[in-house]
Chain A
Amino acid sequence: MKEIKFALYAIKKNIQNSAELKTSFLMNVFGMAINNTAFIIIWVFFVKTVGVINGWTAIDTIGLLGFGTICFGVVLSVGDGLRRLPDIVSSGSFDRFLLSPKNLLVRIATSSFGSSAVGDTIFGVVCLIFYGILIHATLLQVLLMIFLIIITTMIFLSLVIIIYSTSFLFVDSDQVTTGIFNFFLTPSLFNGGAFHGLMKFIFVFIVPSLLIGSIPVEIVRDISMGKLLLICILTLFWFFLSIKIFNKCVKKYESSNFMTFGN
């Protein structure tokens, strides 16, 4: 309880501390509007030219973007500190976090607020509302959507934790983390119908990109309880794995050569 209280307080303080909040926020809303709208245009047109693949309509791609951008936005605004881990570790600022009496992971995540990701969250919510209207969602589907927002956010958070934990292992971690992050994100924003067979297996079970995009859409669309159960189990798996990996990687901090000697 105290942990949560402080985490919320830290987020509040970060927002106050971020001097450039207004400009960066406005700029991102602008950029987000262009970028995400372009994505929608891409996929709507994709479906128009290519046709419906494996039941994936243009409407479904709106849902896909909705889930993807909400979890992206929530995790990288509230937990922006995680994305700064490569910098925090290589500059040695990590010391400060180790001296805090609060949970290390929560403390790092909430140490910075990514105002720029707020735009993505808003966009995602708008997308999902549209999606709900377009598919004439029943109450059950609405509840599923809300539940799946939580689920996808948890998966995305776990993946972000795992990816940025590698900051403790590599010297040039900024490039490494960006590389892995983009690799993870690319398939998640891709039309879900194009994945089949081995590709689908890989991006569900090994690299869980589809869990934050096309699988939730399929669950809502088909009201598939089997897939819901599967995604819940995989979420728990990734969540606990991420915490384990983080704790293991933190131990590496001491034996790395990032430390400065003497002073």
Chain B
Amino acid sequence: MDTLSVVARFGVLIILYSYVFKINDGLIKNTTFVVTAWSMFFYFSFMILGLRNISKVIMHDVKTGNVEVLFSKPISYLFYRFWWQIGLGLYSFVVITIVGGLSLYLAIGFPSTFTSSIFLFTVPFIFLGGVILSLILYGIVGLLAFWIQDINPVFWIVDKAVMILGGSYLPVALFPLIMYKIALYSPFGASQFLTHSVYESWQSNWYELFSIQFLWIMILGFILYFMFKGAKKKVSVNGG
């Protein structure tokens, strides 16, 4: 059902943008509708993986005390939850990506950038980086539940930042310069670099984006690691 809603929202936005591009003679800021549509498709298809839900799962575990039970198991709690989350969304993700991608191809075709070797070679890695960074980002939000009672406000802030900077309303290519910069250098935008891979500019700046994403994975990964250590200590001292 969640998946259905995402698909419907994507459909609505695509129709709106096709109209917007049409009355602009098919070209806005040197970007074509086909490129824009595929960029948005990547955003929504990534969203269907549902990695953001990891925050709520962790919060739920903390609130119900389930986390103590899982801590006592011979597995790493975080990795267990990460894999669990990926597994949950994978099926819908694969199905929707294939069916959606095929329908979009039949409707508007592929952009020319798809056939470049750089695109084909880098896209799996930027996707993987996005998955890792998203899990870390939302994992940090979830772990906050050990320290503050209600993580929902934080979740909303992070989630909306990802949503806007990832290009859900306005495709990244149409961003004003300042927002483009924020999308480029913030972890929220960096988790959605997949959406940049469709554009012409990707051919020349892909390594820059890779470096930024990698840097954020390292920084936030460390934060997550230390937070998790702190959380473990908190559980063993206070009993949760």
Task: Please give the residue numbers on chain A whose beta carbons come within 8 Å of chain B beta carbons, in ascending order.
Answer: 19-20, 23-24, 27-28, 30-31, 34-35, 38-39, 41-42, 45-46, 48-51, 53, 116, 170, 172, 175-176, 178-180, 182-183, 186-187, 189-190, 194-196, 199
How does the 8 Å CB contact mask read for B116-151 relative to A, with 1 for contact and 0 for none?
A: 000000000000000000000000000000001110
Taking A24-B152, A24-B153 as contacts, is the C-beta distance between A190 and B16 under 8 angstroms? yes
**Selected interface stretch from B68-76, B106-114, B157-165, B200-208:** B157-165
Tell me the interface secondary structure of chain A in the complex.
Answer: helix
Besides A27-B153, A35-B161, A190-B13, 19 new A-B residue pairs in contact (Cβ under 8 A), listed by A number:
A19-B149, A23-B148, A24-B152, A24-B153, A34-B161, A35-B157, A38-B164, A39-B164, A45-B174, A46-B174, A53-B20, A170-B1, A172-B1, A182-B9, A183-B8, A186-B12, A190-B16, A195-B16, A199-B12
Most A CB within 10 A of own CB, among B5, B6, B8, B148: B5
Distance in Å from the Cβ of A18 to the closest Cβ of chain B? 9
Distance in Å from the Cβ of B28 to the closest Cβ of chain A? 6
Identify B179's interface contact among A20, A27, A41, A170, CB under 8 A.
Answer: A41
Contact: A179 with B5, CB < 8 Å? Answer: yes
14 A-B residue pairings within 8 Å (CB atoms)? A20-B150, A24-B152, A28-B153, A31-B156, A41-B176, A41-B179, A45-B174, A49-B29, A50-B20, A50-B24, A179-B3, A179-B5, A182-B9, A186-B9
Contact: B149 with A20, CB < 8 Å? Answer: yes
Taking A50-B24, A187-B12 as contacts, is the C-beta distance between A179 and B1 under 8 angstroms? yes
Which residues on B sit within 8 Å (CB–CB) of A24? Answer: 150, 152-153
